[in-house]
Chain A
Amino acid sequence: MNAEFLLGLAILAIGTAATAFPGEKTYLARLINLEIPSFGLFLIMLAFDEMLALLTFVGVTAISTFIFVRIMERRDDR
């Protein structure tokens, strides 16, 4: 039970609560809060020494953020 695993669990819990119940209920606030549990899951993957999972997860997070931003621009309400 090393430090990365415990820190990842704490950040994952904080980020999940902040994404499910944001302060102001807009899509943009939820999208920015969604970055926090991705870092928590990243630290948990780091604790288990999964290097290929780390690289794939970071790349897919960037691409999915780009797709969400394109959808929010097309709907034209924030």
Chain B
Amino acid sequence: MIAILQAIFGGIALLGAIAASLSKSSYDKLIGIGLLTGGVIPFVAARGYLDVAIAVSLLVPVTTIIILQVTGPEEER
């Protein structure tokens, strides 16, 4: 993977980490986790671990759905 693509996907992952850590709402935090996942998956695929990429991309939404069971209803803003 060339350096431009590493910079782009690294930027996506860093934007996701910062957005997930700084936002107040639980739903915004979960959207930030999804953004972070989208930045991490191409690094896994570019090193050749395609089965690890399949496992991660199927297990992370399961974790998100488990966390969504305990988030309360969104307050009206």
Q: List 7 tightest A-B contacts by C-beta distance, closest first.
A: A18-B21, A32-B29, A3-B6, A14-B17, A7-B10, A11-B17, A54-B52
B35-69 CB contact bits vs A (8 Å, 1 = yes)? 01100100110010100100110011011001101
A51 at interface by CB-CB < 8 Å:
yes
A21: shortest Cβ distance to chain B, in Å? 10
A77: shortest Cβ distance to chain B, in Å? 11
Instruction: Note all chain A residues with C-beta closer than 8 A to B66.
Output: 62, 65-66, 69
Q: Given the complex of chains A and B, what is the CA–CA distance between A2 and B18 in angstroms?
A: 22
| Number of A-B residue pairs having CB atoms within 8 Å of each other in the complex | 101
Contact-residue bracket for chain A? 35 or more
Q: Is the CB of A69 within 8 A of B67?
A: yes
Q: Is the CB of A39 within 8 A of B36?
A: yes
Instruction: Note all chain A residues with C-beta closer than 8 A to B30.
Output: 32
Given A36-B36, A73-B70, CB of A7 within 8 Å of CB of B20: no
| 13 interchain pairs, CB-CB under 8 A | A7-B10, A7-B13, A11-B36, A18-B20, A18-B21, A24-B24, A28-B71, A32-B26, A36-B33, A36-B36, A46-B43, A69-B70, A78-B70
Q: Is the CB of A28 within 8 A of B47?
A: no
Q: Is the CB of B62 within 8 A of A62?
A: yes
Instruction: Note all chain A residues with C-beta closer than 8 A to B60.
Output: 58
Q: Given the complex of chains A and B, what is the CA–CA distance between A42 and B40 in angstroms?
A: 9
Q: Is the CB of B43 within 8 A of A72?
A: no
